[in-house]
Amino acid sequence: MKLEDKQLDHVDHVALQVSAIDRAVDWYRDRFSAELLYRDASWALLRFANIRLALVTPDQHPPHIALYSDAAERFGTLVEHRDGTRSVYIQDSEGNAVEIMSHS
Q: Quick: pLDDT tens for 20-62.
A: 999 999 999 999 999 999 999 999 999 999 999 999 999 988 9
* pLDDT for residue 2 is more than 90: no
Q: Quick: pLDDT tens for 82-96.
A: 888 999 999 999 999
* pLDDT for residue 74 is more than 80: yes
Instruction: Spell out the domains of the chain, with CATH numbers in brackets.
Output: 8-102 (3.10.180.10)
CA distance 93 to 104: 27
Q: How far is CA 91 from the centre of its chain?
A: 14
Coil/strand/helix, residue 25: helix
DSSP β-ladder status, 52-56 and 11-17 = parallel
